[in-house]
């Protein structure tokens, strides 16, 4: 009798326990009865997550540089006739005053810029603000302010703006001369007007020239994504220091294809300083037309190797004419530095301020000569018609 009672009590206890377990499962893991599997995760310890974040993140570099990168919005009033034929003198004479009035429209464009000091000077590309009637700058903190043009340099595609701010967050300048292919870089700007955006990549090449983008070219090439609207923005290193001004992309589609170009900060600083101090970029000028030598020309002039720049024209009363340079002279050295071609000579002259005395090594009639010349100021390019 006692055994039967114990068995009955044990059965009731087991039944009650199973019922309680069922209720707990129903409350806390209903998916057990809905045919859905339980999802479990294995998470790394917080100490490991912190270490990985520190190793793989460039957030500190972005925090350093981003406040100094601004969005540049421009407006330009464009006057255009409804039909280009109405600009023809014949039609104007034939129709007299019955020609339709020119149409006016407001053209908007966008780009980026970099605040270079706490006085409110902003470095950007010339093509970003060229022809603009109004320029507005949007800061990283949400403020918007009108900007004025201090000066432009179309030959390097650089321009300097000024905003009336005493607390402008300035960027820190890095060293573009020490860049190596493979260095990590970040591009910060305003692509497509979506707002400030950061992309990353590496230095793909340095010293790129002969791209047809500007007269004086010494571009940094990068695969960091650069898109329309990024122009004038910052290319920074992994410490958030400015090493270049994003300028152009090579693209067949209009979007980034991993080939972007930036003006190195070493070049941009010099141009910016001259614009702020003089209102324009000051470059040396020799007053000659030159062309590259090929093996046939070099042999005809009696040169054992191809090198130097051939003088194909001398401007009357220019520095070269005053110094005695002649047609057919081959300039091989400038102040002891080898000249490899026409662009090499132009850079060697332009990198010196007007009034500098230069020594030119010249090959003339199979004789070596040394000619000293005082270079002048390179003429400013004529404004482009908008």
- Is residue 231 flagged as an active site residue? yes
Which residue is catalytic, options 127, 204, 329, 344? 127
What is the β-pairing status of strands 234-237 and 367-374?
A: unpaired
Q: What does 280-297 look like in DSSP terms, one character per residue?
A: S---EE--EEEEE--HHH
Alpha-carbon Rg for the chain, nearest whole angstrom, is 33
Q: How many residues does the chain have?
A: 386
Contacts 24+ apart (CB under 8 A), 94-97: none
Query: For residues 197 and 191, what is the distance between their CA atoms, to the nearest angstrom?
Result: 7
Quick one: which of 372, 284, 362, 273 has its CA closest to 322? 372
Place of tokens 């949007």: 138
Please tell me what DSSP assigns to residue 229: T
Which residue is catalytic, options 231, 256, 342, 344? 231
Which residue is catalytic, options 109, 130, 153, 157? 157
Q: Which residues pair with 101 in a beta bridge?
A: none
Q: What does 9-68 look like in DSSP terms, one character per residue?
A: HHHHHHHHHHHHHHHHHHHH-GGGGTTPPPP---PPPHHHHHHHHHHH--HHHHHHHGGG
Please return the burial class of 381, using the count of CB atoms within 10 Å of its CB with bins 0-12, 13-18 and 19+.
exposed
Query: For residues 311 and 296, what is the distance between their CA atoms, to the nearest angstrom?
Result: 16
Q: How far is CA 332 from CA 114, 218, 238, 307, 328, in A?
A: 39, 22, 40, 7, 13
Three-state secondary-structure class, residue 187: strand
Contacts of 120 (CB under 8 A, 6+ apart): 162, 163, 164, 165, 166, 168
Catalytic residues: 127, 157, 231
């Amino acid at each position: 009798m006692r055994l039967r009672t114990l068995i009955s009590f044990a059965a009731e206890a087991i039944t009650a326990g199973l019922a309680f377990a069922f209720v707990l499962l129903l409350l806390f893991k209903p998916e057990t009865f809905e045919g859905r599997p339980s999802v479990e995760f294995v998470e790394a310890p917080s100490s490991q997550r912190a270490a990985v974040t520190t190793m793989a993140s460039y957030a500190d570099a972005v925090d350093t540089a981003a406040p100094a990168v601004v969005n540049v919005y421009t407006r330009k009033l464009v006057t255009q006739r409804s039909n280009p034929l109405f600009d023809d003198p014949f039609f104007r004479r034939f129709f007299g005053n019955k020609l339709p009035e020119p149409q006016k429209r407001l053209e908007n464009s966008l780009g980026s810029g970099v605040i270079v000091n706490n006085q409110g000077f902003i470095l950007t590309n010339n093509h970003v603000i060229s022809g603009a009637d109004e320029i507005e700058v949007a800061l990283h903190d949400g403020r918007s302010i009108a900007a004025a043009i201090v000066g432009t340099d179309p030959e390097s595609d650089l321009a300097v703006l000024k905003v009336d701010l005493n607390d402008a967050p300035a960027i820190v300048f890095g060293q573009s001369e020490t860049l190596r292919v493979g260095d990590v870089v970040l591009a910060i700007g305003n692509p497509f007007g979506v707002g400030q955006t950061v992309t990353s990549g590496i230095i793909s090449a340095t010293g790129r020239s002969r791209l047809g983008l500007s007269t004086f070219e010494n571009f940094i090439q990068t695969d960091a994504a650069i898109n329309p609207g990024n122009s004038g923005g910052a290319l920074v290193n992994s410490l958030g220091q400015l090493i270049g001004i994003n300028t152009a992309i090579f693209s067949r589609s209009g979007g980034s294809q991993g080939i972007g170009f930036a003006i190195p900060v070493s070049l941009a600083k010099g141009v910016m300083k001259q614009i702020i101090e003089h209102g324009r970029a000051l470059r040396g000028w020799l007053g000659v037309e030159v062309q590259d030598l090929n093996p046939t020309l070099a042999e005809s002039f009696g040169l054992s190797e191809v090198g130097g720049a051939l003088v194909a024209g001398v401007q009357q009363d220019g520095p070269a004419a005053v110094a005695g340079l002649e047609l057919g002279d081959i300039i091989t050295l400038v102040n002891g530095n080898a000249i490899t071609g026409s662009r090499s000579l132009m850079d060697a002259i332009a990198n010196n301020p007007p009034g500098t005395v230069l020594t030119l090594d010249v090959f003339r009639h199979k004789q070596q000569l040394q000619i000293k010349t005082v270079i002048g100021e390179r003429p400013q390019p004529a404004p482009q018609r908008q």
